């Protein structure tokens, strides 16, 4: 006999938590070797993260039933509601345990690839009633037993059904607790899969996560990445990326390449990722009329290595961050880093830097949790991370011009400078600006050369003027530091900005010729180190995916990494390409031109038929190889 409706509900919740934790312990016992790198402290910290993941999972799918059971009086109706609730919980339990069995095949949790398993329905049925028969029978028995127990619990008459004022108070408390449980974070974005890593180890995340959580968090419909047979796709991809300087080293991880340690000074690296700095609008990079909005950026490009044939691998900021941190183009239908991509073993820039004796730091001018860059940075191996909330205001601001989100770029640059001064050399830093993201809030009218607007092209031009000025103040300041002469600065953009929605932009161009759509993917890259590199304009084709291996190469790091890019300084790479993802399209840029494909047809090309077919085959190979190897967890060790 239960005292009231709340004690009934609590008993089911307790049983649910107990079941999911038991499944997690089963995962650990089945695959102990996969978790052997966890210390005792890390093991228990990962279990606690697992409890948080289970809380989100259970509360997300239990909340409607909890509210109904609070107010439903008749035992018969309560029994029906309870049984429906138990049915949902049973699905969660069965999928989570099935994930434990699935783990044996790829050693990571299942994600949205589950929605493609219908193509192997006959194989799955054969396994369920063949080698997995004992588990199938066990799942059926467990489900029947669980449904019966829950039904029996809820048809029992309660000693005291709480009503009135007391019910109102208890309900408010319950709603608050459920809300907190689902979000599991008191600031910024809700708890995501990347947050489940108690420590920066894949094993920690694998222990903390449950299969149902990873399925529904990556439940977006995905494309089928089987455009070519896998063996053929891997061979063509290897042939394109092949270089005697970075041999492929492992048949189990066919795109894994080995970089040997070189006797090179341990230069510092300072990366600046610039929000929406599309090359088509920037002085020194545009193919149209220069507008004198980024004069200092142009000056830097003239004094450094200026890459004029460089492209983003996607159209969102987190896609650029993912590519820079991992060397991966997010395959169409996959989640980005921080929302599921990290379920596969990846090569991480920050971790490789630390393995080679570097201090690491990451930050962004946006709020701390924006794009979950805090969790993503930790995953990628950055020891320190900061967001807008951590950055004091040092910018001169006209009255009433505080930014509504994030902080002004110079506040971040000043903070970046001061933090770099505290790091032990050699160091690797990453910083991501924000002021050139709409809405275009600026600190002073002095930057508003064009009629200012928070959304349109005029506003973006004014924002370029401001960020260019911030870069100038930052660079002229760090030039006075003793570490400047032994530091390599890398400036690039997260993605292009485009002007397709801004007809006003036409008046600033020298002709009305339409901008080729691929121009919206073209971004700047400047490698600036006047004491290390002589100024040069470089037309080598490149993309975000090349930044990671380029850093490894020019610093002479020892590393075995897998990336969908190569060092921009390796003149022996067989074939250069940029593989990008854009909504329902994938595409490829090569020295022959570019193509876009919608998983049915080539929807755009700049080349003749022969070159288009050649690029199509390379695109199909790269897409199939990358997506399939990530799904199979055969990307890297």
Q: What is the model's pLDDT at position 501?
A: 44
In whole angstroms, give the CA distance from residue 533 to residue 526: 11
Residue located via tokens 């047979």:
229
Query: Is the pLDDT assigned to residue 117 strictly greater than 70?
Result: no
Helices 133-155 and 5-30 cross at an angle (nearest 10°) of 170
Q: If DSSP codes are grouped into helix, strand and coil, which group holds residue 536?
A: strand
Which among 573, 423, 438, 564 is positioned nearest to 487, based on CA atoms? 423
CB 476 within 8 A of CB 294: no
Please identify which residue in the block is written with the tokens 């349109």: 456
Give me the pLDDT at residue 223, please.
65
Cis peptide before 426 (omega within 30 of 0): yes
pLDDT in tens, 459-488: 999 999 999 999 999 999 999 999 999 999
Q: Once rounded to an integer, what is the mean pLDDT over residues 241-263?
A: 96
Q: What is the pLDDT of residues 299-352, one digit of tens each?
A: 999 999 999 999 999 988 999 999 999 999 999 888 888 878 898 999 999 999
| DSSP conformation letters of 56-104 | HHHHHHHHHHHHHHHH---HHHHHHHHHHHHHHHHHHHHHHHHHHHHHH
User: What is the per-residue pLDDT for 334?
Assistant: 86
Using DSSP's 3-state secondary structure scheme, residue 228 falls into coil
Q: String of b and e for 294-309 (b: at least 16 CB within 10 Å)?
A: bebbbbbbeebbbbbb
Q: Do 153 and 82 form a contact (C-beta atoms < 8 A)?
A: yes
Residue 257, pLDDT score: 97
**Strand 310-311 to strand 593-597: parallel, antiparallel, or no bridges (unpaired)?**
unpaired
Instruction: Residue 291: name the closest of 530, 499, 440 by CA.
Output: 499
Cis peptide bond upstream of 288, omega within 30: no
Return the pLDDT at 324: 98
pLDDT band at 15 (very low <50, low <70, confident <90, very high): very high
Determine phi and psi for 574, rounding to 5 degrees.
Answer: -60, -50
Lowest-pLDDT range of 125-139, 200-214, 380-394: 125-139
pLDDT surpasses 70 at 505: no
pLDDT over 60 (residue 219): yes
The candidate with the shortest Cα–Cα distance to 105, out of 634, 635, 636, 637, is 634
End-to-end CA distance of the chain: 54
Q: 3-class DSSP state for residue 18?
A: helix
pLDDT surpassing 60 at residue 119 = no
**Are 341 and 354 in contact, with CB atoms under 8 Å apart?**
no
Arithmetic mean of pLDDT, 229-243? 98
Report the distance separating Cα 328 and Cα 47, nearest Å. 30
Say if residues 561 and 552 touch (Cβ distance below 8 Å).
yes
Residue-wise pLDDT tens digits, 551-610: 999 999 999 999 999 999 999 999 999 999 887 789 999 999 999 998 888 888 999 999
Residue 509 has pLDDT above 90, yes or no: no
DSSP notation for 426-440: SEEEEEE--TTSSS-
In this prediction, what percent of the chain has a pLDDT beyond 70?
Answer: 94
Q: Which of these, 331, 303, 324, lies nearest to 548 by C-alpha position?
A: 324
Q: Are 345 and 636 in contact (CB under 8 A)?
A: yes
What's the pLDDT score for residue 497? 79
Pick from 535, 183, 176, 205: nearest CA to 348 = 205
- The most confident of 136-150, 434-448, 558-572, by mean pLDDT: 558-572
Mean pLDDT of 101-106: 78
User: Which pLDDT score, from 0 to 100, does residue 599 have?
Assistant: 84
Whole-angstrom distance, CA of residue 152 vs CA of residue 571: 72
Chain mean pLDDT for the chain: 91
Q: What are 46-78's pLDDT values in tens digits?
A: 999 999 999 999 999 999 999 999 999 899 999
Answer yes or no: are the C-beta atoms of 493 and 275 closer than 8 Å: yes
Contact 427, 350 (CB under 8 A): no
pLDDT at 500: 46
pLDDT at 510: 58
From the CB of residue 401, how many other CB atoms can be counted at a distance below 10 Å?
A: 14
In three-state secondary structure terms, 588 is: strand
Nearest to 490 by CA among 542, 418, 431: 431
Q: How many angstroms from the chain centroid is the CA of residue 238?
A: 25
Q: % helix / strand / coil in the chain, to the nearest 5?
A: 50, 10, 40
What are 622's two structure tokens? 């790269």
pLDDT at 244 over 90: yes
* Position 425 confidence tier, pLDDT thresholds 50, 70, 90: very high
Pairing mode of beta strands 487-493, 268-274: parallel
DSSP structural state of residue 222: -
Read off the DSSP letter of residue 51. H
**For the chain, which domains are there?**
5-217 (no CATH), 230-523+531-631 (3.40.720.10)
Q: Residues 292, 298, 300, 301: what is their CA dihedral angle, to the nearest 10 degrees?
A: 170
Q: For residue 359, what are the β-bridge partners?
A: 427
State the pLDDT at residue 276: 93
The pLDDT value given to residue 335? 81
What are 248's two structure tokens? 């492929």
- Apex CA 634: angle with CA 632 and CA 637, to 5°? 140
């Amino acid at each position: 006999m239960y005292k009231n409706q709340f004690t009934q509900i609590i008993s089911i919740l307790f049983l649910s938590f107990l079941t999911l934790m038991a499944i997690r312990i089963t995962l650990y016992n089945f695959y102990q070797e996969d978790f052997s790198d966890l210390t005792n402290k890390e093991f228990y910290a990962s279990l606690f993260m697992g409890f948080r993941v289970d809380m989100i999972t259970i509360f997300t799918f239990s909340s409607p039933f909890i509210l109904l059971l609070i107010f439903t009086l008749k035992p018969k109706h309560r029994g029906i509601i309870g049984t429906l609730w138990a049915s949902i919980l049973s699905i969660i339990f069965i999928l989570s345990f099935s994930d434990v069995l699935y783990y044996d095949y790829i050693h990571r949790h299942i994600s949205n690839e589950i929605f493609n398993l219908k193509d192997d329905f006959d194989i799955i049925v054969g396994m369920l009633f063949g080698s997995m028969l004992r588990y199938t029978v066990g799942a059926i028995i467990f489900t029947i037993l669980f449904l019966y127990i829950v039904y029996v619990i809820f048809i029992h008459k309660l000693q005291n059904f709480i009503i009135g004022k007391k019910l109102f108070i208890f309900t408010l408390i319950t709603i608050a607790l459920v809300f907190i449980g689902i979000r599991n974070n008191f600031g910024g974005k809700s708890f995501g899969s990347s947050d489940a890593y108690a420590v920066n180890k894949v094993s920690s995340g694998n222990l903390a996560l449950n299969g149902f959580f990873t399925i529904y968090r990556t439940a977006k419909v995905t494309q089928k990445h089987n455009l070519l047979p896998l063996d053929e796709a891997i061979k063509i991809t290897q042939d394109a990326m092949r270089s005697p300087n970075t041999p492929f080293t492992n048949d189990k991880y066919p795109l894994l390449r080995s970089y040997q340690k070189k006797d090179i000074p341990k230069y510092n690296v300072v990366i600046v990722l610039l929000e929406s700095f599309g090359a088509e609008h920037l002085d020194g990079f545009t193919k149209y009329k220069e507008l004198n909005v980024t004069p200092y950026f142009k000056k830097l490009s003239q004094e450094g290595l200026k890459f004029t044939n460089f492209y983003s691998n996607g159209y969102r900021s987190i896609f650029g961050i993912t590519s820079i941190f991992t060397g991966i183009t997010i395959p169409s239908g996959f989640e980005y880093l921080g929302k599921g991509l990290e379920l596969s073993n990846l090569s991480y820039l920050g971790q490789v830097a630390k393995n080679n004796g570097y201090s690491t730091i990451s930050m962004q001018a946006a709020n701390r949790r924006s794009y979950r860059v805090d969790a993503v940075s930790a995953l990628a191996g950055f020891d320190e991370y900061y967001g807008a909330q951590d950055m004091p205001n040092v910018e001169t601001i006209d009255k009433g011009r505080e930014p509504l989100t994030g902080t002004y770029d110079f506040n971040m640059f000043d903070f970046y400078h001061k933090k770099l001064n505290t790091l032990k050399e050699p160091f690797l830093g990453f910083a991501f600006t924000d002021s050139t993201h709409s809405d275009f809030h600026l600190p002073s009218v002095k930057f508003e050369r064009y009629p200012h607007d928070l959304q349109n092209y005029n506003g973006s031009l004014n924002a370029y003027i401001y960020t260019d000025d911030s870069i100038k103040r930052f660079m002229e300041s760090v030039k006075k530091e003793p570490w400047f002469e032994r530091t390599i600065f890398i400036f690039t953009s997260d993605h292009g900005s485009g002007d397709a929605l801004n007809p006003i932009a036409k008046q600033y161009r020298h002709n009305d010729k339409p901008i080729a759509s691929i121009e919206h993917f073209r971004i700047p890259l400047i490698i600036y180190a006047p004491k290390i590199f002589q100024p040069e304009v470089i037309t080598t084709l490149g993309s975000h995916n090349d930044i990671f291996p380029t850093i490894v190469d020019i610093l002479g790091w020892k590393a075995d990494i897998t990336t969908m890019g190569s060092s921009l300084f390796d003149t022996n790479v067989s074939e250069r390409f940029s593989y990008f993802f854009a909504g329902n399209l994938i595409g490829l840029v090569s020295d022959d031109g570019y193509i876009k494909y919608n998983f049915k047809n080539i929807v755009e090309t700049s080349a003749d038929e022969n070159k288009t077919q050649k690029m199509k085959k390379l695109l199909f190979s790269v897409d199939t190889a990358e997506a399939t190897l990530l799904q199979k967890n055969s990307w890297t060790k």
